[in-house]
Each structure stands twice: as structure tokens, then as C-alpha cells.
Amino acid sequence: MAKKSTVLQYTRVKPITNVWISILFIFLALLCLMPALLVLIVSFSSEASVRTIGYSYFPREFSAASYIYLARQSNYIGRAFLNSIGVTIVGTFLGLLTTSTMGYALSRPNYRLRKFFTWFIFIPMLFSGGLVASYMINAQILGLKDTYWALILPICCSSFYCIIMRTFFQTTVPDAIIESAKIDGARQIRIFLQIVLPISLPAIATIGLFLTFAYWNDWMMAKYYISGNKHNLFPLQYVLISLEENISFLTRNQDMMTAGTASQVPSETIRMAMVVISVVPIACSYPFFQKYFVSGLTIGAVKG
């Protein structure tokens, strides 16, 4: 918008209209933010306050009891947190590997199979085997059920990301660089790793972020492929899904561990605290990465 010339100042809306538009957007922004704020405040409310006045923006008393409680359960919550981190890192790495190599291949004008593979990745966008066939293959033939791979492999690549990569390589990596490297005798793998990837960091960052957030937020794979009793495989999102059971699981555990000592489990605020724990990494990081998402969207909107 900086490039708009001064003439355009005269095309601005009237000040009063600007006020109305501002109010509209402030309202919408608050609409998006307030629910998150409520959950945050509830997670820091005392259990007694929640029991008397319910979930409220203005609790009677603040308390970090639920977090202290969760910290004590670190073997369970900590495990889920580490699972989520591990799955996210490995998944993002594999996702970048698969999408960038395919994107690179499709961006090379001289590649003889380019047309074939463009269709090869495009067809799955139109037609898919559906949940039943995928489930049967992943669970029964590949044996992914109740493994970490079930959380990673089925969603690591996507045609949409491949196309974004391809478009990016096409527009920002000059053909001349690759040709001159070839003349110098470099192999494609070396060209890709040492020349193309380093100058394509913005694209890598964009797709990497898409993947990171997708993996961190994914709960479908766990719901499909992880059995309810395999607690050590649960990612955070799945812990949230089965929270009702898990709170009773935690309480039972607690009773076993601290048998005899009467312990109050802040079960009302615990769930909100766990929601906060899973949201904080995202909520704190996305404003800084926003520009990458916007640029990814812009490239993605260019038609394939």
C-alpha cells in the first residue's frame, strides 16, 4: 500500500466512513480474540471461583493451581508435549523434503517428465480414495496403527504445497544459474542442495510454517490411528480430545501416587489450562511469521 501515489489520497473514504469501518474491524478483531482470552482467564482462576460463578472474565480469585497440578503430572502432559514437538519436527522435515524436491522437478522447463508429474500430483487434488480405503491401507497393510509414523506420514506431502514450491522456484530461481552450474559439471542433487535451496529460503520458511502449524494442530490422525489406551503415543491435541477420560485417568494416577494424602484436583480449570498449553506456542509465534503465511497464500492463489 506504500506504493499508492498521493493522488489516491483523494480517493480515500470520508472520515466518518473510516470511523465506521474502524469500529467494524475492531469489533471483528475482538470477536476473534475474546474467546481465547476467556479460556486464558479461566485457566488462571481458582477452582472455587469457577464452581461458584462459573467461567467468567472476572473471576473472584486468581490461582495457578491448575498449572502447578499439570506440572506435577509432567510424565503424562510432558510426554504429550514432547510427542507433539517430535512429530512436528520430523513431519515438517519430511514434508519439506518431499514438497521441495517435487516442486523443483516440476519447475525445470527441460525436465522431460514434467508434464506427466504435473498431472501426477494434480489428479489427487480432484479424486481421492476416501477415508475407508486410506484407513485400510494405512492401518492394515502398512501397519501404521499405534505408531508415531501414523501421525506423520499420511499428511506430510500435499499437492498444494508442491505447487506453491514449483511456482516459487519458477519465479525466483533464474534458469541461468542452474544452467551455468550444469556447465560447471554440477549434478542435479548438488544444484538443488547448494544453489536452489539456499536462495529459496522464503519458500522453505513458508511451507515449513504451514507444515509446522498443521502438524501441531493435527488431531485427526491420532483419532484415526491411535488407540485410546496407548497414552504414551498421544500428541497434545489428542489429549485434549480425550480430556474427560484423561482427567479421570490423571486423578486415578494421582490417587495411586499420593495415596493417603487428600488432594484436590482442579478439574474445571485443568481443561482450560491444557487448552492454553497447546495454544500458547502458536499464539505467541504466528504474529511474527504472519508475512510468510500471507506470501504463501499469494503464491498459492496463482493458478496451477
Partner 1 sequence: MVQAGEKSARVRRRKAGSNGSSFDNLEIFLLHLPTTIWYLIFCYAPMFGVVIAFKNYRPRPGKSFLWALINNSKWVGFDNFQFLFKSSYFETMMKTTVFYNIVFIILGIVIPVTLAILFNELYSKRLAKTCQTMMFLPHFLSWVVISYFVYAFLATDQGLVNNMARKLGLAVEKNHNWYTDVNFWMYFLVFLNVWKGMGYNMVVYMASISGIDAELYEAALIDGATKSQQVRYITLPLLRPVISIMFIMAVGNIFRSDFGLFYQATRNSGALVSVTQTIDVYVYKALLERSDVNLSSAAAFLQSVVGCLTIVGANLVVKRIDPESGLF
Q: Pick out residues in 144-183 that bind partner 1 (CB under 8 A).
A: 153-154, 156-157, 162, 176, 179-180, 182-183
Q: Is 217 in the site for partner 1 (CB under 8 A)?
A: yes
Per-position b or e across 270-282, b if 16+ CB within 10 A of its CB: bbbbbbbbbbebe
CB 108 within 8 A of CB 114: yes
Q: Is 50 in the site for partner 1 (CB under 8 A)?
A: yes
Q: Is 58 in the site for partner 1 (CB under 8 A)?
A: no
Q: Is 16 in the site for partner 1 (CB under 8 A)?
A: no
DSSP lists the bridge partners of residue 45 as 62
Please state the closest distance from residue 232 (CB atom) to partner 1, in A: 20
Give 72 or 114: the residue with its C-beta nearer to partner 1. 114
Please state the closest distance from residue 72 (CB atom) to partner 1, in A: 22
Q: Is 284 in the site for partner 1 (CB under 8 A)?
A: no
Q: What is each CA distance from 1 to 4, 5, 299, 300, in whole angstroms?
A: 6, 9, 18, 21
Which amino acid is present at 102? M
Residues 81-120 close enough to bind partner 1 by CB under 8 A: 97-99, 101-102, 104-105, 108, 110-113, 117, 120
Q: What is each CA distance from 300 to 94, 104, 135, 173, in whole angstroms?
A: 20, 16, 29, 17
Q: Is 268 in the site for partner 1 (CB under 8 A)?
A: yes
How many positions of this chain bind partner 1 (CB under 8 A)?
110
Please state the closest distance from residue 146 (CB atom) to partner 1, in A: 14
